[in-house]
Amino acid sequence: MSTNPTREEQIVTELPTSGRGHDFAYRTGLVLQVLGSAILAVLYPLESPFYTVGIMLFEAGTLVSGIFLIVWKSVVKKFILGSILTGIALQVAGFYVQEQHAGLMLIAGLGLVCAGAAGMAGKEAYCFGYREGWLLMVLAFPFLVLVNLLGKENPVLNSIGFSVLFLLLLSLVGKKLREEVRGQK
């Protein structure tokens, strides 16, 4: 009989930890992502100008989770966090450029934030086998970015995409919150 540990057991024993507060902060960022995507999924189809609050909450959650992300290879965290920070910086810079370039900078910045969020979803999929993570990484985030970068804003596709994003994030984060909190007490 083999005594090889399962992938989940390897992850729990080999991942570096920085305490329970670290894991709690990472999960708080995930919850903010879900809340932001929920606001976006509801207010965008209603054409409310306040749907941007959903984007800001989503991005704040992505940044918090990115900062407290624990991965085996530091280059993965650097890429994910770098994408998020560059995306936020690009969006802020979009407020200070000529109007004809501002929209593209805002969308490209959001795309970079989504690339970071996709990386975190992929990490959850790889480490814990969450199918929602694979769907977010391979389909949902790239779909939303491409739809907006390739042409004009499409309200129907965006509404559907934001709803799918919310449902997948809700399921993924629900599973993550049911996991035992890791770290030293």
Q: Is 92 among the domain residues?
A: yes
End-to-end CA distance of the chain: 34
Distance CA 98, CA 104 (A): 11
- Which of the four pLDDT bands, split at 50, 70 and 90, describes residue 167? very high
- What is the per-residue pLDDT across 64-93, written as a single tens digit (0 to 9) for each? 999 999 888 899 999 999 999 999 999 999
List the one residue out of 114, 48, 43 whose CA is nearest residue 83: 114
- The reply to whether 10 falls in a domain is no
DSSP secondary structure letter of residue 183: S
Assigned domain for 7 exists: no
Q: How many domains does the chain contain in total?
A: 1
Q: Domain residues for 72? A: 20-178
Question: For residue range 37-64, what is the model confidence (pLDDT) as tens digits?
Answer: 999 999 999 999 999 999 999 999 999 9
CA–CA dist 175, 43 (Å, integer): 26
Decide if pLDDT at 181 tops 90. no
At 2, list the tokens: 């083999």
